A and B are shown apart, each in its own frame.
Chain A
Amino acid sequence: NAGVTQTPKFQVLKTGQSMTLQCAQDMNHEYMSWYRQDPGMGLRLIHYSVGAGITDQGEVPNGYNVSRSTTEDFPLRLLSAAPSQTSVYFCASSYSSRDTEAFFGQGTRLTVV
C-alpha cells in the first residue's frame, strides 16, 4: 500500500494562476481532508469529505475548491493563487470521521509569488 500520495511535492505559482493539488489514497478510506500548515499556526482544515460525492468546508475554505468523484481521489483546486496561499498543504484520510487515526501525505510546499 502506498497510503496517501500527494503530488506535486513542490510548486511555485504566480499570483492569479490556478492549479490543482492531487491527493490519492489506496486504503479505501471514506473520510478525506485537506489542511494547510503555516508557521506557528499548526494545521488548519480547508475542506473535507465524508464520502464520494460529499464535501464540506473547513475552517479556511476561501480560495479553494474540492470535489470527490471517487473514494480514492480528493483534489484541491486553487482558483486564483494569492501570496497568502503560500503554505504547506497536507492531505489526510481515515477509515471514518470518528474514532480513527488519520493518515497523512508527505505534503505539497506551495509558494505563490
Chain B
Amino acid sequence: SQQGEEDPQALSIQEGENATMNCSYKTSINNLQWYRQNSGRGLVHLILIRSNEREKHSGRLRVTLDTSKKSSSLLITASRAADTASYFCATDARDYKLSFGAGTTVTVRA
C-alpha cells in the first residue's frame, strides 16, 4: 500500500502566487523526498529531507517535515508557468523501498 498521501489532489494558482501542498505518511521514515513530473515525462528529484531535519530550502522551494505528525509540506514561492506539473512525495522507510503518493497536480495560470 502507498505510504504517502498528498493533499490537495489538484491546485490552480495565478503566476506569482505561492503554492503549498502537503504529504502525510504512515510509518517511521529515514527521509522524505519530493519529485516533480512534467506531463508525459519521468520524475525529477527536487529535494530530500532527513528525519532529523525540520526544514530545508532549495531556490524557490521550501520543505518542512514534522515527524510527530508524520507530515511534510512543499512550498513553491513566486510560481511560474514552468512550475505547472505534478508533485509527488516519496518516503524512504528504511526497507530499501521508496514509496510514492498519488501526487498533487499544480496548474499555474498566466
Digit string of A78-113 for contact with B (CB within 8 Å is 1, else 0)? Answer: 000000000000101000011111111111000000
When chains A and B are docked, how far (Å) is the Cα of A106 from the Cα of B43? Answer: 8
**Chain A residues whose C-beta falls within 8 Å of the C-beta of B48 in the assembled complex:** 99-101
0/1 interface trace, chain B 84-110, chain A, CB 8 Å (1 if under): 000010101010111111110000000
The residue from B42, B45, B97, B99 contacting A107, defined by CB atoms under 8 A apart:
B42
Q: Which residues of A contact B88 (CB under 8 A)?
A: 42-43
Complex partner residue of A102 from B30, B45, B94, CB under 8 angstroms: B45
Q: Is B77 interfacial (CB-CB < 8 Å)?
A: no
A45 touches B99 (CB 8 A): yes
Say yes or no: B96 contacts A97, CB within 8 Å.
yes
Greatest chain A CB density within 10 A among B41, B44, B98 is at B98
Q: Which residues of B line the A interface, CB within 8 A?
A: 1-2, 30-31, 33, 35, 40-45, 48, 50, 88, 90, 92, 94, 96-103
